[in-house]
Amino acid sequence: DVKVTQSSRYLVKRTGEKVFLECVQDMDHENMFWYRQDPGLGLRLIYFSYDVKMKEKGDIPEGYSVSREKKERFSLILESASTNQTSMYLCASSSPLGNTIYFGEGSWLTVV
């Protein structure tokens, strides 16, 4: 079975903390994505990467950064967490153009 694994299912962090959300895929996919999901807003794309060390901003990159040092791993970084970053974060991967996107189970982040 194909798998996208997000390191933490539930996290609680304090305002101002640096937060790392890790994602690993085992399908040798070139493309990886980070979304956040909030009630009524659907999935909003934060960043995506189409190759190692390559990254592109999505629709809402402010307050986030990403790292892709290896093909299978894509990390989302909140440099200084704020309460408005409380959300569910979803990682996904796919092979190029037109192929299926596989999602992780999601990471629920609460910033207090």
Query: Which residues contact other proteins (rule: CB under 8 A)?
Result: 4, 31, 33, 35, 40-45, 48, 50, 56, 58-59, 90, 92, 94, 96-98, 100-106
SS (H, E, C) 71-84: CCEEEEEECCCCHH
Q: How far is the CB of 85 from other proteins (least distance, A)?
A: 19
**Residue 82 — left, alpha, or beta (φ > 0 → left; ψ -120 to 50 → alpha)?**
beta
CA neighbor of 21 nearest in space, from 31, 35, 7: 7
Locate 77 and state its tokens.
Answer: 């970084």
> Which C-beta is closer to other proteins: that of 17 or that of 73?
73
| Beta carbon nearer to other proteins, 32 or 111 | 32
Q: How far is the CB of 49 from other proteins (least distance, A)?
A: 9
CB of 50 to other proteins, least distance (A): 5
